Structure 1
């Protein structure tokens, strides 16, 4: 697939360090449980924008731009967790896709829910990338949106948000 994660890991590391400095978070504080919870929330927010499960609504069409933004928010937390778990920057992902969007989300959420180390991270991240494909997001589109949101996140830290 040829996804280059090294640049994104570098950008995320810079943002994570910025956040730790601005928020006075001790360098030895384990943020993994908080990052897992944040990722879980972002995936649920993504589900809400995809709307596939809203059988009660006449409008079940995905909100594409909003969904991409939630996806990229999730990517930020995946990268932070990857750094915490020591995932090599040259890691070559293998996106995995199921045959139904519900299966994709449920499986992803299952692995995020139990994430305590690199093995669950690898599986969940490949499912996450498969979800991006499922939703029709191209890798260049994801990277562009990630870079834009990364800048916004730096500015938020400077503004104290």
Structure 2
């Protein structure tokens, strides 16, 4: 779970990166950029799932190291934060359902495929949000994504550090004409 302070910090940092990108590439944050962010999030979710590997019933190869998984997880977080900022989502007042999450997480950890239902719910929320652009649908999508982090037992400190590292890389990429 991420604290309110962490969510506010991440939202602000993402806004700085997004403004840097838009300015550097002489773009406006419009419907096309919004759609591209949705697709980018979808791609990053797939990249995360590919490293997390729990859906690969045909493979005996284990999950990627935690730092590699976190790198992909925060790539998705970057685009979700961008999407939330695009719809003026109030990260300061985001109500994470901490009373429901531990029970849900424990139940999912007891299965052979703890993230299966969560991934599928997330895809439904992504579809809903892509049509509505509403704060309510974004809240469900965002909560669902944070639930993935909880199931994977990523700590707030790990997520924040991975985000900081990737954010620095993203700024460096923009400075070097990525």
Same fold, judged at TM 0.5 (above):
yes
Q: Residue 4 of structure 2 contacts residue 91 of structure 2 at CA under 8 Å; is this kept in 1?
A: no
CA offset digits 1:14-69 (Å, max 9, x no partner):
10000001111135x23211111100111011100011111111213343221100
Give the superposed CA RMSD.
Answer: 1.6
Q: CA deviation at 1:151?
A: 1.0
CA distance in 1, matches of 2:169, 2:95: 26
SS at match of 2:93: coil
Unaligned runs of 5+ in 1: none
Unaligned regions of 5+ residues in structure 2, if any? 109-113
Q: TM-score, normalised by structure 1?
A: 0.91
Which residue matches 2:111? none
The separation in 2 between residues aligned to 1:72 and 1:93, in whole angstroms, is 20
Contact 2:4-2:92 within 8 A present in 1 as well: no
Residue of structure 1 in register with 2:168 after alignment: 151
Structure 1 moving runs of 4+ over 6 Å: none
TM-score normalised by structure 2 residue count: 0.83
Structure 2 distance, partners of 1:151, 1:62, is: 23
Distance in 1 between residues matched to 2:163 and 2:151, nearest whole Å = 18
2:128 maps to which of 114, 118, 129: 114
Alignment map for 1:29-48 (pairs within 5 Å):
29-30=30-31, 31-48=33-50
How many residues in Structure 1 have an aligned counterpart in Structure 2? 160
Which position in structure 2 is the counterpart of 1:72?
74
Q: Following the alignment from structure 1 to structure 2, what is the Cα–Cα distance between the partners of residues 64 and 106?
A: 22
Distance 1:146 1:110, change over 3 A: same
Give CA-to-partner distance per residue, 1:89-141, whole Å, 9 cap, x none: 41234155462311111111221133232222100100111110101100111
Q: CA–CA distance in 2 between the matches of 1:89 and 1:104?
A: 22
Q: SS state of the match for residue 90, structure 1?
A: helix
Instruction: State whether residues 36 and 113 of structure 1, in contact with CA within 8 Å, keep that contact through their aligned partners in structure 2.
Output: no
Residue of 116, 135, 139 corresponding to 2:152 = 135
Is 1:52–2:54 an aligned residue pair?
yes
Higher helix share: 2
Change (3 A) 1:103 1:141: same
